[in-house]
Structure 1
Amino acid sequence: MNRKSKVALSVLLCATTSVAIAGVFPATKPQGKLGTIYVNPYGNSPLTAIIDLGSNTISDVSVMVKGKGRNGVDISYDVGMQNILTSDGIPVFGLYADHNNQVEVSYLKDGQKIEETYSIMTNPVSSQSIDTNNVTRIPTAEVKKIASGFEDRLYMVNSHTYLTDGSKITWAARKPPGAPKIEGALAGGSAAFEAEPQTYIVDTNGDIRWWLNSEAVFDAESWDLADRGYFMGFNDTGKGSYTFVQGSTFGTFNLLGKVEQKRLPRGYVDASHEMLRGDNGNFFIRVAKRDYMNDVGDQVITVRDQILELDEFDNVVDRWDLNVIFDPYRDALLSALDIGAVCVNVDLDAAGQTMDMDELKKIAYGDTPGVGAGRNWAHVNSIEYDASDDSIILSFRHQGVAKVTRDKQVKWILAPREGWNDELSQKLLTPVDIDGKPIKCTDKGVCEDDFDFTYTQHTAWLNKSNGNVTVFDNGDGRGHDQPAIPTMKYSRFVEYKVNEQDMTVQQTWEYGKERGYDWYSPITSNVEFAEDKNTMFGFGGSVHLYNRGERTIGKINEIDYDSKEVKVEIDVLSAKNNNTHYRARIVDLNSQFGF
């Protein structure tokens, strides 16, 4: 090669290099008539994508993500115009992990219907918390039964995996000037109530079709309380997102992985279990109060006993202090609890043990069963807003189910009679049969007829079709006692009709007692009526929790309301042994994408 040729080649190489550095590459040709495909558009949800609009204007959009293999489930949904504009493209939901997904899209453009097929490759998904205790990288599902007509169901599951070395943070102990010295930390609270979230959607073939990266909301190495806690309290807002609470924060996320996370209002901490958007447009959150002076003069952080109502601008418009409204010293159920599992605080070595009233009064303040403000006497795990009379219905794991009015008056209580003071005992509902005749029950709640109270229950939500209250009756401490043999325990889906004028309650529906201990879910769980399929949908989040060395089952069920036939049963298995799940929800794609 002569010198002139070498110079020419050098110039060409330099020109090529400079073009590359400037970022001017040949444009990638789009697969279809629209723009670029962005997989995992917000960096949080790797099984989603957006097909960018580019400069196009489209309408009448439908999407189908094709199922994988012989038994794969197709996921289809329509996309509303507001959602298209918000995404600046077509949202693609329901991709398989580590797979070249085939996605069929149809839309109108310039009056012409266009049908296209896109290939979208995804990466594998994995939990961030993988160590020697893991059985699998992520939870897995085993399908037991899917009845005809239920093949297109999708279920969002809220699981967690314990941190390898536990929580590194607790609230600092403080006491007011002149306070007497007592045993245990004065601050208490439940800051250490945390675990890495595993949030995903399974289809009726047991495949994971959506995954939210845990680091989107949780950082186990952070010392900032905004990064810690239990990610839970999911409720469909009806506006393309889900609510959530986590420690000192609350917010919303959508199925594309967009997360809006905010700190709780000043003075409030330890949000967990429940956040929902009421029919009045406001948000209801179960929190705790910091720097609370209890009735014995101790300055404490309360535990799961405060309800906040926030408007759309996050202003606190109302508050329910349950220490004042109820009796924080009622111990009728607390004295009968199996302290081996209280919510998701699990100590298998303490399984079957109970505590008496003296112990409940003396135990250190904090996230432990006990009486008095600063201890876990209430354990509110669900809120329901009743627009008919502007009130809230609460599930107190350690007390019962109750309705409270806007002016902070107790309207009714669904619980056994034992332990209530004179004032609150006037609010107790009387069980009746189908003819309205009273059913005889002991003070501990053991009844003669076809009626049973709930014990350590979760999710007292309204059946919107008939106004009844649906409850997941976990069943620990049933009859305010521990059975002679642990395997005598059982859980139920149950529904009650409350007559507020007569102050009576009728049990109208139940399922689960007949399935015994193998269906028993000691903690967590939820149930609600699914009007579209006329089923009672429920999730036992802790089945086989006490079976050492086994993966805990989160049991998804849909039970026909009329025949009580099992229409759906899917077992979700934890990624670690003896790890619990929290809730599952039916996914409404029209609510998420159709607006």
Structure 2
Amino acid sequence: MKGRRRLLAAALALATFSVLSAGKLSLPYPPQGELGYVSIDPYKVSPLTAIIDLGGKNIADVKVKVHGKGKGGVDIEYDVGPTKILTYNGVPIVGLYPSHKNKVSVSYTVEGTIKNEEYTILTAGLPYNPVDGDVRFVPEFEPVTVADNFKDRLYFFNLMSRKPEISQFRWGSDGGAAEWDTKPLNVIADTNGDIRWMLDPNSQHDEESVYTSGVMIGTNQAPDGMLITGQGQRLFKFDLLGRHTMVRRLPRGFQDYSHDLEQLKNGNFIVRVAKRDYVRDDGVVVNTVRDHVIEIDRDGNVLDVWDFNKILDPYRDNLLLALDVGAVCLNVDTESEGETLEDLDKNAPFGDIPGVGPGRNWAHINSVQYSYHDDSIIVSARHQGTIKVGRDKQVKWILAPSEGWTGDLASKVLTPVDAKGNNLKCDNGKCEGEFDWPWTQHTSYIGKTNNSVISFDNGDGRGFEQPAFPTDKFSRAVQYEVNEADMTVQQVWQYGEERGYEWYSPITSLTQYFDDKDSMVIFSASRGLFDRENPPELSLVEMEYEGSEVFVEMNVKMPKLHAPGYRAWPISIDAMFGN
């Protein structure tokens, strides 16, 4: 009996992980340094992260270095500010390699004394959800070009995993897009092609509930360094450790977040959504498809609504009739590559289909950005054009061919000009000189100046037609300068046309300016989508602003046939943890 009691007492002591001895805290095994224990994947969201506990110490001036692995391995270095030290009660560690004994250096001051410590952090493998047809476990990253002063870049890849099952949930025959439902595939890769962070897909997604299913796309970095994204009927804000500061359902009356959202400097959010129970002019009630933008505050209160069924003409069909129905964004049917719709029936069924009128995919807004200098928004509507709209819901300008625009909207179409300001003649979407419109574009964002607009011109339906051979298609990054006073637009830079069909991306993709290195980041995110033998091999390019020098190029080999990426961009660790 006495032996059993001694064993029970020992077990209880180990279970609490500490005992008091002579008035001091005694630990069951010593930590690696003078700080506390290392907690790996502390929030059970991102397995390549850790927190080194403070161990009761008050530390400052914290610097972290996660050492690169092997030949060409990239060191990840960042500072950790006092707010984050208090928030985590420890030192956040990000950028670990999977299945590896990672070497991590941490320096800090405690009571005025500088400390330098080395930690070894053993990680497990990457989380993986097998999908029928996968040819590799995770994406593979292959650096092609890396300039010396860009080797420290870390790129966030917001990718797609194709799921063969049909979603458990649909909004029904009256519209909506709830059937967009796949496990998230979000990773960070360094310029050596190594994965240094991955979101555990099961931590954020469960197809058994409408509020935990959906597609996690449009992830970006907020002004405070945190990540913001959405998935179906919810919005998220979190850090790389997986600590969520916001998980919010869409406001009542709205549904189907996808593609893009932005957090403003005042904390509000601009979000691309759809409208539930929308009453059409003919009295029919539908759920709309990708045609609304809302502004909400930090508490989720709806402050403003942009209803593009009222702002634009939802029956303009010029580009819709020229679309390749084999790939209308994530609705991919490789057997229909190059085919178009013969007509658009105004009485066709409602739902996520190319069509006209509220309740069908007539607009397909895939990016939205707030313009601070004049309190407006710029949207990329894949099936209509790029449009700037004021707070008063009045269109300021339209960057699209003039065909099909009527009434007051026709006067808002920008006139193409050359470098000398001379008007360029255009006919059926084809213009003379060095000018072309963006076609089925993604990410129409403000560039280096307020008058600059940059897009990823996917190129489907170029000139309102499908070419005789699909291999004649091309995609490109393009920059325009808009003169709002004269209502003119000049094309000032492009990249990609010279690469032809091998760089063509029919859907998704991104072009964005980054001021930290004065560079353009371009992601051809669905290159090889129609290849019937090999999974897509996507292409990330970071290059000289308004120039031709490529600083970084990286290929991304996807795990499955016909699985596109969505966006990729350089992430700042310092912005997330430095305050």
Q: Same fold (TM over 0.5)?
A: yes
**Is the CA contact 1:303–1:367 (under 8 Å) kept in the aligned structure 2?**
yes
User: What do the CA deviations read for 1:560-587 (whole angstroms, capped 9, x no partner)?
Assistant: 1254122111111111111111111111
Once the two structures are superposed, the pairs formed by residues 539-554 of structure 1 within 5 Å of their partners are 539-554=523-538
- 468, 471, 475: which is aligned to 1:491? 475
CA distance 1:424–1:356, shift in 2 (3 Å): farther
User: What do the CA deviations read for 1:343-393 (whole angstroms, capped 9, x no partner)?
Assistant: 11111111111113344x243211111000000000000011001010000
Answer yes or no: is 1:44 the counterpart of 2:45.
yes
**Is the CA contact 2:127–2:201 (under 8 Å) kept in the aligned structure 1?**
no
Residue identity (%): 48
**Is the CA contact 1:290–1:300 (under 8 Å) kept in the aligned structure 2?**
yes
| Cα separation, 1, equivalents of 2:59 and 2:333 | 56
| Cα separation, 1, equivalents of 2:62 and 2:223 | 20
Q: Letter of the 1:14 partner, please give it.
A: R
Answer yes or no: is 1:203 the counterpart of 2:190.
yes
Q: CA deviation at 1:54?
A: 2.3
Q: Letter of the 1:286 partner, please give it.
A: R
User: What do the CA deviations read for 1:167-201 (whole angstroms, capped 9, x no partner)?
Assistant: 121113xxxxxxxxxxxx2x121110121111100
Q: CA deviation at 1:532?
A: 2.3
| Cα separation, 1, equivalents of 2:106 and 2:394 | 54
Once the two structures are superposed, the pairs formed by residues 435-514 of structure 1 within 5 Å of their partners are 435-442=420-427, 444-465=428-449, 467-514=451-498
- 560, 567, 575: which is aligned to 1:576? 560
User: What do the CA deviations read for 1:265-294 (whole angstroms, capped 9, x no partner)?
Assistant: 101110110111124431000001111111
User: What do the CA deviations read for 1:69-101 (whole angstroms, capped 9, x no partner)?
Assistant: 111111111111112111211110100001010
State the partner residue of 1:559.
543
State the partner residue of 2:289.
303
Once the two structures are superposed, the pairs formed by residues 172-321 of structure 1 within 5 Å of their partners are 172=172, 185=173, 187-220=174-207, 222=208, 224-259=209-244, 260-321=246-307
State the partner residue of 2:23.
none
User: What do the CA deviations read for 1:429-458 (whole angstroms, capped 9, x no partner)?
Assistant: 00111111111111x220111111001101
| Cα separation, 1, equivalents of 2:282 and 2:564 | 36
Once the two structures are superposed, the pairs formed by residues 334-345 of structure 1 within 5 Å of their partners are 334-345=320-331
CA distance 1:521–1:358, shift in 2 (3 Å): closer
Q: Letter of the 2:339 partner, please give it.
A: Q
In terms of mean alpha carbon deviation, does 94-103 or 571-580 score higher? Answer: 571-580
TM-score by length of 2: 0.96
Which runs of 4 or more aligned residues in structure 1 lie more than 6 Å from their structure 2 counterparts after TM superposition? none
**Is the CA contact 2:232–2:256 (under 8 Å) kept in the aligned structure 1?**
yes
Q: CA deviation at 1:24?
A: 4.6
| Cα separation, 1, equivalents of 2:441 and 2:140 | 26
TM-score by length of 1: 0.93
| Cα separation, 1, equivalents of 2:118 and 2:154 | 23
Secondary structure in structure 1 of the residue aligned to 2:202: helix
C-alpha RMSD over aligned residues: 1.3
Q: Letter of the 1:363 partner, please give it.
A: A
Q: CA deviation at 1:508?
A: 1.1
CA distance 1:78–1:302, shift in 2 (3 Å): same
Secondary structure in structure 1 of the residue aligned to 2:229: strand
**Is the CA contact 2:344–2:356 (under 8 Å) kept in the aligned structure 1?**
no
Q: CA deviation at 1:13?
A: 4.3
Secondary structure in structure 2 of the residue aligned to 1:229: coil
Q: CA deviation at 1:127?
A: 2.1
State the partner residue of 1:177.
none
User: What do the CA deviations read for 1:296-317 (whole angstroms, capped 9, x no partner)?
Assistant: 3321000000111011211100
Q: Letter of the 1:32 partner, please give it.
A: G
**Is the CA contact 2:132–2:164 (under 8 Å) kept in the aligned structure 1?**
no
| Cα separation, 2, equivalents of 1:395 and 1:279 | 22
CA distance 1:278–1:516, shift in 2 (3 Å): same
State the partner residue of 1:31.
32
- 373, 380, 394: which is aligned to 2:365? 380
**Is the CA contact 1:271–1:288 (under 8 Å) kept in the aligned structure 2?**
yes
| Cα separation, 1, equivalents of 2:223 and 2:494 | 29
User: What do the CA deviations read for 1:46-84 (whole angstroms, capped 9, x no partner)?
Assistant: 000011112111111110100111111111111111121
**Is the CA contact 1:156–1:587 (under 8 Å) kept in the aligned structure 2?**
yes
Answer yes or no: is 1:149 the counterpart of 2:149.
yes
| Cα separation, 2, equivalents of 1:211 and 1:468 | 34
Q: CA deviation at 1:465?
A: 4.7
